[in-house]
Structure 1
Amino acid sequence: MTDVEQMLAQVAESYNTMPYESHAFKWCSPAYIRAAAYLYGVDLPAVQYARVLEIGCAAGGNSLPFAFMYPDADIVAIDIAEAQIAEGQRIVKQAQLKNISLKNMSMTELPNDLEPFDYVIAHGVLSWIPKQTQTQIFRVVEQSLGSNGGAYISFNTYPGWRARESLRDLMLWHSRGIEDLQDKVDRAREVIPFLAEGVSPHNLLQAAKEYLAAQLPDCESQDYYLAHEYLELHNHPLYLVQMTALAEQANLRYVGDAQPKIECPESYQLTENKEFLTLQSSAKHAIAQQQYLDFAVGRSFRKSLLTSNRHSQEAFNKPDFSRLADLLFAGSFEAFATKKEGVKKYRVYDKNIKVKCAKIQAMLALLHQSWPRPVSGRDLLRVAEGAKQEHVRTEDALKQLFMLFPLEMSRSYEDLPACLQDLYSGLIPGAATIMAARYKEKSSIAEFNAWYSSSTAKVNKTDLFVVETLEATKSPLRAADTLEQAWRQNSYLPSSIKLRKKIAKNPEKYALRYVQRVIDRLHKYAMYI
């Protein structure tokens, strides 16, 4: 066994010992990649019949959603951790999926005679493999990618990862000499209070360390994150210019980030910062300009899109937001009134966004009304045009919407899965299978929605019974009837004593309500259409 093979075996053993939670990540959905690449002037293959290769797929949490929602696609997903692949293979077998192959192998073991792939995805791999093998991943991508295909490679990046690197060094130092991975994680957790309260004000990184301490997961269910993000044997961040140099050596071209707005100075209030603009303008190439932006914002993670040098189109130097009109968007943004006239507030993740522009408010209302189905960029422009706000150009309002809000995105109606087409009604494909696996088998594969985002919301046994019955009957009324009959036999009753008493008096009424409550919750998260 060579030194590199031995190092890869150690990485595999680490993930076999403590598997990583396997999630769908919307930025590396082929449909999203295709839409993002279009903003950079690059056309990629339609996704309905696409061939997709995922390198480092864990248990398949990112590839399985694509297999469920695009039955005519062809997916090959590989990972060096045998335990994770076995978990994903169980799902493939249970669901009788015929369009995906999960294989326990290294990227260097891929056969040379595979047909070219339309999309090659490597999320969370580049920074976590031995430094000696980082060049290989680009060679494998280039060899596997079709001439007009697209690739996605994410990685930890400098300069932002410098602060996290000092945290990693501290955790490794504090847990030195401990071999057992769980014991190592437990030991590493002891530094978190120190980071939050014990760092001297004379330490130039005090604020950064306090911030990072607040971001670290404080529950045992996320031990895997500490183990693999901070205690892994290999973690080798790269500057953007270093990553693109490796890509160019392998005959790959940089397109841009899968999240185009992060490559725009206006996302960081830098458009009027003369010092930044002076420095950035000194760069002769777009990638060098992006490197200056990374220094300015302290970027720590990138999600890069690449094509082969054989691709017929070269990317624009920056995203062309006039192309937003040609895309489809979705989002659920409930408006709340504020004390200020004409201003509405929208809750997005853990913060509130206040919007005064009537055009943006009109577009948000249409998106919310249509959720989870998409709205075309041109329809958003039309509804915005009807709003009275003459001093804001409609095209600028659409760009502001894109910059401010986390929109789901697709290139065309043809790229939408069947569950987002107009006539579809019911659970999205695969939802019941994955939810049952998480609840019954403690699977590490997270639930996903129609827009390729993960959810790890907890369900109880009654919720799961409803979900499985909805999957089997395809009818809310029949699901309610089945639930009622189960309740009459004292099965699948909710834990609430108060609710049980109500059910005893009128099981038919409350079965209907309970099923509708489950549907409403799943619809909110785009898991029931």
Structure 2
Amino acid sequence: MPKFFQNAILSVISNHLNPNGVAYISYNVYPGWKVKDIIRKIMLKAWEKSQNMEFVREALKIYYKFITYTEQMDQYSYDLRAYASLKLHIEMVLEMPDYYLTHEFLESFNESLYFDDFVSMLDSSELAYLGEYNFSDIVAFDLGFNEADKFIKENFDSHIESEFWMDMFLGRIFRQSIVTHKSTKASLGSDEIGASALAKLHLMASFIKKDDAYFTKAGKRMNEQYNWLYEVFNKMYPASISLAELVRVVQGEVRLSAYAGMVQVLGLTGLGSTVSVKKYEKITYKPKFSRLKPAILPYLSYFANTKEPVIGFADEFGQNHPIVPAEAFVAMKFDGINSKADIAKYLKKQIKAGKFRLDARTGADARKKDDELIKIYIDDLENLLTQMHFFEYFSPS
């Protein structure tokens, strides 16, 4: 969007944000987007010529092939050498669907900016930068290269300055920032997050164990020093745990490393962990004891009655989960009255009538399977609803 529109949005936030409220702003940043600006210009020229996305993709493919070709030449010019990083970005762009490319690259306006310019715009609107939504500015506070880290810390010790230099060294492309009123930020007094602040946060995470190592669902290998902590999270999931709760359940030397380990998990926010300011329990289904939250029923009804939904089936943290219309109908049966045996009877009738298949979760044709497969399916669906925190405790009147 053009600069005047960006300023208008910041003005709206400043005028309508609650005194202690925060706002989320995502935006493209330099220097990383400088490379994408080149790709965008190529795509715009191809689009102006053809008004056809296939032609746009073809232009990018030819450009990619040319860079690959020049890399193999004996006399590889200095100018072309500077373009080598484009290959990775073009590969990623070509994997994206048309609707994303249209939004990200073919809009009339695409005003990227440097982080310090963004902070200056906030200041002009009486707003202030708090941090990144996933705490990356707090838990990933160095580069891992001593000479560069020392240079930043000795010469640019403020939060804003250090983040600008992190962008420059890392070539960041995109930021997802949390902002607040300038007066609110000033009242906090410090950008630092310590044990007392972390103790107020509740974290949820699960890890995949392979041999003696733990991995996130995205495949990131975790620091083996905190294997004990990842096992605690796995046992608790999807319930949350805070630092204060953690130090009460562990003893000895590992207790001393609890804070550092929690910071590591906090750094996975958005990539494998979820953070909240309130506690979450693991609530499974039990008739007359727990049920679907009433507010969830219209949400499930939408998916049950919509063949091609325009939104993803997500929990309150924005995490998407797969579901098909027939499954949404079954999910609505967890009403606190039906037993799982009742749900199994309903499901069996639907299968017999040819209205339901279990392929989505079992990979098998349910019409040729027995009651045990139906039980496994219901347990799996219950587990999904539990992980999404869709159940609540209740007492029937």
Q: What TM-score does the superposition give when structure 2 sets the normalisation length?
A: 0.80
SS at match of 2:245: helix
Q: Does the 8 A contact of 1:372 with 1:523 survive in 2?
A: yes
User: CA, structure 1 residues 502+329, in 2 after alignment: closer, same or farther (shift >3 Å)?
Assistant: same
Q: Which residue identity lines up with residue 483 of structure 1 in the other structure?
A: L
Q: Which residue identity lines up with residue 164 of structure 1 in the other structure?
A: K
Q: Does 1:299 align with 2:172?
A: yes
Match of 2:8 among 129, 136, 140: 136
**Paired residue for 1:364?**
230
445-454 vs 431-440, greater mean Cα deviation: 431-440
Q: Does the 8 A contact of 2:303 with 2:324 survive in 1?
A: no
Match of 1:478 among 323, 338, 342: 342
Q: How many residues align?
A: 376
**Paired residue for 1:452?**
318
Tell me how far 1:157 sits from its aligned partner.
0.8
Q: Does the 8 A contact of 2:132 with 2:175 survive in 1?
A: yes
**Paired residue for 1:375?**
241
Alignment of 1:213-362 (within 5 A): 213-216=90-93, 218=95, 222-263=97-138, 266=141, 268-270=143-145, 273-279=146-152, 281-283=154-156, 285-311=158-184, 313-314=187-188, 316-320=190-194, 323-338=197-212, 344-349=213-218, 351-357=219-225, 360-362=226-228
Q: Does the 8 A contact of 1:427 with 1:528 survive in 2?
A: yes
Larger radius of gyration: 2
Task: For 1:232 and 1:162, locate their aligned partners in 2 and report how far apart those are by CA, in whole Å.
Answer: 16
SS at match of 1:451: coil
SS at match of 2:306: helix
Q: Does 1:209 align with 2:86?
A: yes
Q: Which residue identity lines up with residue 286 of structure 1 in the other structure?
A: H
User: CA, structure 1 residues 178+473, in 2 after alignment: closer, same or farther (shift >3 Å)?
Assistant: farther
Task: For 1:473 and 1:289, locate their aligned partners in 2 and report how far apart those are by CA, in whole Å.
Answer: 56
Alignment of 1:35-434 (within 5 A): 129-179=1-51, 183=52, 185-194=53-62, 196-199=64-67, 200-201=70-71, 202=76, 203-216=80-93, 218=95, 222-263=97-138, 266=141, 268-270=143-145, 273-279=146-152, 281-283=154-156, 285-311=158-184, 313-314=187-188, 316-320=190-194, 323-338=197-212, 344-349=213-218, 351-357=219-225, 360-386=226-252, 393-403=257-267, 406-413=272-279, 425-426=291-292, 429-430=295-296, 433=299
- 1:50-94: CA deviations, max 9, x gaps? xxxxxxxxxxxxxxxxxxxxxxxxxxxxxxxxxxxxxxxxxxxxx
- 1:489-516: CA deviations, max 9, x gaps? 333245699635534xx4x444333322
Q: Which residue identity lines up with residue 345 of structure 2 in the other structure?
A: D
Task: For 2:208 and 2:263, locate their aligned partners in 1 and report how far apart those are by CA, in whole Å.
Answer: 20
Task: For 1:176 and 1:499, locate their aligned partners in 2 and report how far apart those are by CA, in whole Å.
Answer: 49
Q: Which residue identity lines up with residue 394 of structure 1 in the other structure?
A: A
Tell me how far 1:389 sits from its aligned partner.
5.5
Gaps of 5+ in 1: 1-128, 339-343
Tell me how far 1:337 sits from its aligned partner.
1.1
Q: Does the 8 A contact of 2:140 with 2:267 survive in 1?
A: no
Gaps of 5+ in 2: 393-397
Percent of residue pairs bearing the same amino acid type: 19
Task: For 1:324 and 1:374, locate their aligned partners in 2 and report how far apart those are by CA, in whole Å.
Answer: 13
SS at match of 2:106: coil
- 1:146-205: CA deviations, max 9, x gaps? 2222222121111111111111111112222345xxx3x333222443455431334234
Task: For 2:104 and 2:178, locate their aligned partners in 1 and report how far apart those are by CA, in whole Å.
Answer: 23
Task: For 1:198 and 1:432, locate their aligned partners in 2 and report how far apart those are by CA, in whole Å.
Answer: 53
SS at match of 1:177: helix
SS at match of 1:353: coil
Task: For 1:400 and 1:302, locate their aligned partners in 2 and report how far apart those are by CA, in whole Å.
Answer: 20
Task: For 1:212 and 1:492, locate their aligned partners in 2 and report how far apart those are by CA, in whole Å.
Answer: 42
Tell me how far 1:522 sits from its aligned partner.
4.9
User: CA, structure 1 residues 433+472, in 2 after alignment: closer, same or farther (shift >3 Å)?
Assistant: farther
Q: Does the 8 A contact of 2:238 with 2:282 survive in 1?
A: no
User: CA, structure 1 residues 143+454, in 2 after alignment: closer, same or farther (shift >3 Å)?
Assistant: same
Q: Does the 8 A contact of 1:362 with 1:383 survive in 2?
A: no
**Paired residue for 1:42?**
none
The RMSD of aligned alpha carbons is 3.5
Tell me how far 1:346 sits from its aligned partner.
1.7
SS at match of 1:454: coil
Task: For 1:175 and 1:295, locate their aligned partners in 2 and report how far apart those are by CA, in whole Å.
Answer: 31
Q: Which residue identity lines up with residue 305 of structure 1 in the other structure?
A: I
Match of 2:308 among 442, 447, 456: 442
**Paired residue for 1:512?**
375
Task: For 2:122 and 2:315, locate their aligned partners in 1 and report how far apart those are by CA, in whole Å.
Answer: 32
Tell me how far 1:348 sits from its aligned partner.
3.3
Q: Does the 8 A contact of 2:126 with 2:181 survive in 1?
A: yes
Tell me how far 1:408 sits from its aligned partner.
0.9
Tell me how far 1:310 sits from its aligned partner.
3.5
- 1:288-343: CA deviations, max 9, x gaps? 221111101111111222221332723523443552222111011132214xxxxx
User: CA, structure 1 residues 266+137, in 2 after alignment: closer, same or farther (shift >3 Å)?
Assistant: closer
